[in-house]
Amino acid sequence: MPAIKPVTIARKSDVKAGDVHDFAALRQQAIDLLQQMAGSNWTDYNLHDPGVTIIEQLCFAITDLAYRTNFPIQDLLADAKGQIDYKKNSFYTPDEILFSRPVTANDFRKILIDRISEIDNVWLTPLYSRYAGDSVKGVYQATVQVSRDTVKKWKGDVSEEQRVKQLVRAVFVSERNLCEDLSQEVKILKPVSIKVKADIVITEQYQPELLLAHIYSGIENLLSAKVKYYTEAELLDLGYSYEEIHSGPRLHHGLIPDRELRPRKNEIDPIELTQLLSRIEGVVQVKEVALSADGTQYTSKPLKLEKDCFPFLDEGSGALLKLFTNKYQVHIKQAVFQNLLVKLHASQDRTFVSSFYNAHNERVIGRHQSTSQYYSIQHNFPHIYGIGREGLPIKERTAARIGQVKQLKAYLVLFEQLLSNYLYNLSHIEDYFCCSLPRRDDTSSYYQPPYDIPELGDILKSFYDGTGHKADQDWENFVNDKENGYQRSLGKIADNNTQYQRKKHKQFDHLLARFNTVLIDYPVKLYREVYNAEHLEDRFSDTLKWKRFYLNNIANIQRGETKGFNYLKEVNDSTVFDFEKKIKLLLCIKGFYYERKLSDAFNNGKLAFEPSQTMVEVTHPPAEEAIWIEDVPQIVMPRKEAQQLHQNQLNHSPELSENQIFFAARGMTLFSEAIVYKNYRIIPDFDQPDRGVLLLFKYPQDNKWDVISRYQNDANAMAALRKLVAHFRNISMDSEGLYVVDHVLLRPSLTSKAYTFRLLALDKVVHTHPDCNDFWGRETDIDTALKHYNHLTGLRVELLVKLKNMEIIAESFFDFQLTVLLPLWPARFQDDNFKSFVKELILLNVPANIKVNICWLSLQQMRKFENHFFEWKASYQQNNDKRYDLAEHLISLVQAEI
C-alpha cells in the first residue's frame, strides 16, 4: 500500500502584506490551497458551494482584523482617556533617552554652568606633562567666573567663595567618568568693574530707552562671557540637526551649543565693542568708546586684565552711554530704561528659556480604539444555513436539521475562537510589549470566548446539559462568570510556564534591542544553579525579573555606564547607576546598589577558622523544621551500605556536640562544596548505637568521608544539614560583590613635594633627579635637565612619584588605569568559567582608553583592603588630608596584587 503523503499548510505563507486587506486576493489564495490539498476529491469551487461560502466569510473576517490592526500605533496603545503609559511600554521623551553622559571638557562645562546658578561660566584645563606621556591624566583644573548677582552677595565673604568651590567639585564628582577627577584647587576669578563711555548715533524710529537697554545688555554679555541657552526650535532654525542638538549631557535649563563655550578672554578691545554696538538694529554710528577698570583712567586702547580676573559691566555705565539723533543728545528716562533692562535680563534668564525648552518633551497621546469586540461571522451567512440569529425556519426545525446546524456551529467555533483571540490580543498590545510582569494568574496567551455567536450556549457542554434543558444559570450569568466551564477549558490550553517564559524572553529581548542592548543571562542561570538548584523555578523566573529590572531602568543604566563612583557622597539608590553598579547588576549580584563590606558576611560569630579545621555553630532547629530535601541524592544511607562505609571509608573526628560542626581545612574550597547536598551522608553510629547518627562530609576529590557532627536521629540531622547548607549559601551570596579603584583618585596632592623624574638615553638611566617638587615645579626641573643633557641621543623622560614611605613608583600608575577587586571565596566566584566571563564583561564595558587590572582576593586580603578602602572613602567625604596617607596604603595593596 503506497505511503500517504501528509498535506500541510506552511506556517509561513506566501500571503503578501497588502493582500490581507484584499478580499478577492485572500479568497483566491484560499481556493488555490484547497485545490492543492483536495483537488482529487473536491472539484466544485463555485459560489453556491458551502465550502466556498465558509472560505469567503473567513476571508472577510481576516480583512476586518487587518483593518483594525492598521490603526495608528498610538491609538492602539492609548487607554480610554487617550493616554499612553510610557513607562510600561519603555517609551521615553527625547531628553530622557537621547542625551548621553558628559565626555568632553565642553560637556562638563555645560553641566557645571547648568546646575550651579552662582556661576556664569567655567573653563576646564586638562592636566598633563609637556615632556612625557605617562603623567597623571584625566584630571581637570577648573577656573570659575561667578555671576553678577553672586558678586554682589559675597564681596569680602570668604565662606561664600568656598561654598561655590565646593559646589563645583560636588557637581563634577557626581558626574565624573572613570579615571577622571577635578583638581582640588578650584580657581575663582576676581571681578573687575568695567565702565564704558560711548557716544552712539541712533535712528529716531526706536524707543531710546529700549535701544539703550539692548546696547547695555550686549556690552554686558560680551564682557561677562555669559553662556546663552537655546530651545530645540531655535537650534533647528539655525541649521543644527537632531543628532547635534541631542549630543552631550542632558541639561535642565535649555540647550547650549559648543559655539557658546568660547575661550576665556584676558583683554577687552574697544574695537570689538564698537563692532558689537554697530550690529545692533537702530544704531547708526559709534563715535567713541573708552574703557576704565576699577576706577582707573579711561582709555581707548585694549584693556588687559590679570589672568585671575574677569570683567563685569559697572551698573553706572548706563549713564555713560550717550545716545544722539543727528546732532542732538537724546534724554533718557532712567526709570523706563531700568524697567526695560530688567525685563530683558529676565528674558535671557535660564529659567525663562527652560519653560520653552521643556515644551518639546510633551508626550504623545492617542485616540482609544475598542478593538477587542468580536462580531461573529455566523451573522453573515445566508439564512438557509440556519446559524444566524433567526435560526432555522419553523418548518425546517427537524431533529436532523437542528443537528446539522449545531455541527456547523461547532465547526465554525474553532475558527471564530482564533479570530476572537486575535482581537483580544490586539486590544492588549500594550500588555504584550511591556517591560513589566503581570499577576501570577495572568497568561501571555490572551483569549476571549466568542460570545457573539448566535445560540452559542446550545453547543457548550458546560451550559447545555444535552437533554434539552439549560443549566441552572441563565446565559447572561454564564457569560459574566469568569470561571465558567468554557473559560476554564480555554485556560487549560493557555501557555504553560515554559511556553510563557520563552515568549516573555522574546518580548523582553525585543524591547532591549530597541536600545541596542543584548543581555547575557549566564550569570543569572549560574546563580540559580549554585544557590537554588533544588527549588523549582516559578512562572516568573529569576532571569525574567532581572531583564524586567534592567528594562525599567535602562535609561539610567546607559547614562551611567562609564561613570565613576561619587567619592564625596554615598549614593545607595537603585535608580542611580555608575560603572560599578552596572557590572554588579550584569553579574546578578544581590544588593548591587548599596556598598557594604563583603567580609562582614562572617561577622555573625557562627564560623571560626583554625589552621587544621573550620568550625560552624548550628543551633538545633525544632522538630517541625525537619523537612526532607527532595531531588537530592540518598543522603540517609541504607544500613548495609552505611556499615560498609563506616568500616572502610570513614575518618573519625574528636568528640562532637550537636551544636558544632567541624570541617577539615581546605581553604576557600569549603565554601563551594559545603553548599552541595550530594557531598553529605547520614549514617548510624555503629560504635555507639545509643548516641544516634553521624553527619558525614566528603570533598569530591577525597576517598574517605569525614565525621563532622552527630545527632539523636535522622530527622534532627537532616534539619541541621538544611540549616548548615543555607548558612554557607548565605555567606557566599552576602560576600558576592566587587570594588572599583580609580588609580587617579590615589594620586598625591598636586601641590605636594612628591613629583620627580629621571632621564634615560636609549633606555639607559643617565640622570635621576635628587629632589621632589610639586607637579608644576617639576616641569621647570625637567626643562633645566633636558637642556643639560640635550646632546644625548634617544633622550626621554620617565615620570616618578615618591610616596611618604619613601617608595618610588612610576607615575603611569595614575594614567587612565583602574583595578577591580573581587572576593575569591563565594561559591559562584570559584567557577573558572565564571571568572573568565567576569573578565570579558568588564573589558567589554570599560572605555577602550583605560587599562584594567582584575584581582581576586582571599578573605584575609579582602579584610585588609576593606579596612583601608572604607577609611579612605570616609576621609574624602570629610575632606581631611588623612586621605593621602590612606591612599598610599591602597597603592601598596593594589600594586602587590597586580
* Tens-place pLDDT, residues 78-105: 988 989 888 888 898 888 888 899 999 9
| Burial group, residue 388, by CB count within 10 angstroms (0-12, 13-18, 19+) | middle
| Distance (Å, whole) CA 689 – CA 684 | 7
| Distance (Å, whole) CA 594 – CA 586 | 15
Which domain-ending residue is among 359, 390, 412?
359
| Distance (Å, whole) CA 842 – CA 583 | 7
Question: Are 200 and 321 in contact, with CB atoms under 8 Å apart?
Answer: yes
| Distance (Å, whole) CA 274 – CA 638 | 104
Residue bearing the bigger pLDDT, 443 or 574 = 574
Torsion angle, alpha carbons of 891, 892, 894, 896, to 10: 160
* Tens-place pLDDT, residues 230-254: 888 889 999 999 889 988 999 988 8
Residue bearing the bigger pLDDT, 457 or 154 = 457
Quote the pLDDT of residue 41.
73
Residue 622: pLDDT above 50? no
Quote the pLDDT of residue 624.
43
**pLDDT, mean over the chain:** 87
Which domain-ending residue is among 331, 359, 387?
359
Same domain, 347 and 199: yes
Same domain, 206 and 287: yes
In a domain, 393, yes or no: no
Instruction: Say what the pTM is.
Output: 0.88
List the one residue out of 93, 74, 92 whose CA is nearest residue 83. Answer: 74
In a domain, 582, yes or no: no
The stretch 414-441 carries a mean pLDDT of 87
Q: What is the DSSP string of 281-304?
A: TTEEEEEEEEEEETT---BSSPEE
pLDDT band at 654 (very low <50, low <70, confident <90, very high): low
Residue range of the domain that includes 282: 191-225+262-359
Quote the pLDDT of residue 625.
47
| Distance (Å, whole) CA 225 – CA 272 | 14
In a domain, 415, yes or no: no
Same domain, 764 and 848: yes
Q: Quick one: DSSP state of residue 227?
A: P
| Distance (Å, whole) CA 724 – CA 109 | 56
Residue 471: pLDDT above 60? no
pLDDT band at 656 (very low <50, low <70, confident <90, very high): low
Q: What is the DSSP string of 80-149?
A: TTS---TTTTT---HHHHT-----SHHHHHHHHHHH-TTEEEEEEEE---SS-SSS--SEEEEEEEE-HH
In three-state form (DSSP H/G/I as H, E/B as E, the rest C), the secondary structure along 782-799 is HHHHHHHCCCCCCEEEEE
Q: Where are the beta strands (DSSP E) in 602-691?
A: 607-609, 613-617, 650-651, 660-664, 680-684
Same domain, 343 and 195: yes
| Distance (Å, whole) CA 613 – CA 742 | 38
Residue 51: pLDDT above 50? yes
Quote the pLDDT of residue 315.
77
Same domain, 693 and 792: no
In a domain, 787, yes or no: yes
Residue 745: pLDDT above 90? yes
Question: Are 773 and 755 in contact, with CB atoms under 8 Å apart?
Answer: yes
Number of alpha carbons in the 13 Å side-chain half-sphere of residue 889: 15
| Burial group, residue 4, by CB count within 10 angstroms (0-12, 13-18, 19+) | exposed
Question: Are 211 and 202 in contact, with CB atoms under 8 Å apart?
Answer: yes
List the one residue out of 672, 726, 735 whose CA is nearest residue 535. Answer: 726
The stretch 548-553 carries a mean pLDDT of 94
* Tens-place pLDDT, residues 167-188: 999 999 999 999 999 998 899 9
Which residue do the cell numbers 444535552 mark? 466
Highest mean pLDDT among 208-217, 430-439, 567-576: 208-217
Same domain, 153 and 297: no
The total of structural domains in the chain comes to 5
Which domain-ending residue is among 689, 715, 735?
735
Give the burial string for 609-631 (b: 16+ CB within 10 Å, else e). Answer: eeeebbebebeeeeeeebeeeee
Residue 631: pLDDT above 50? no
Quote the pLDDT of residue 507.
92
Same domain, 621 and 692: yes
Residue bearing the bigger pLDDT, 97 or 509 = 509
Same domain, 13 and 60: yes
| Distance (Å, whole) CA 123 – CA 263 | 8
| Distance (Å, whole) CA 761 – CA 521 | 52
3 state DSSP class of 259? helix
Residue bearing the bigger pLDDT, 40 or 492 = 492
Ranges 306-315, 352-361, 371-380, 536-545: which has the least confidence: 352-361
In a domain, 546, yes or no: no
Phi, psi torsion values for 120, nearest 5 degrees: -100, -30
| Distance (Å, whole) CA 321 – CA 575 | 54
Residue bearing the bigger pLDDT, 833 or 14 = 833
List the one residue out of 435, 250, 516 whose CA is nearest residue 358. Answer: 250
pLDDT band at 5 (very low <50, low <70, confident <90, very high): low
The stretch 383-401 carries a mean pLDDT of 90
In a domain, 883, yes or no: yes
Which residue do the cell numbers 549560574 mark? 526
List the one residue out of 514, 500, 583 whose CA is nearest residue 544. Answer: 500
Angle between helices 208-224 and 334-348 (to 10 degrees): 50
Which residue do the cell numbers 465558509 mark? 54
* Tens-place pLDDT, residues 757-809: 999 998 899 999 999 999 999 999 999 999 999 999 889 999 999 998 889 99
| Distance (Å, whole) CA 668 – CA 863 | 15
In a domain, 42, yes or no: yes
In a domain, 432, yes or no: no
Instruction: Kindly report the CATH number assigned to the domain that includes residue 152.
Output: 3.30.300.30
List the one residue out of 674, 730, 729 whose CA is nearest residue 706. Answer: 674
Same domain, 745 and 835: yes
The stretch 449-466 carries a mean pLDDT of 86
Quote the pLDDT of residue 266.
86
* Tens-place pLDDT, residues 186-241: 999 998 888 888 888 888 888 888 998 898 888 888 888 888 888 888 899 999 99
Same domain, 29 and 108: no
Question: Are 615 and 608 in contact, with CB atoms under 8 Å apart?
Answer: yes
Same domain, 3 and 136: no
Amino acid at 486: Y
C-alpha cell of 304? 588687559
Same domain, 819 and 774: yes
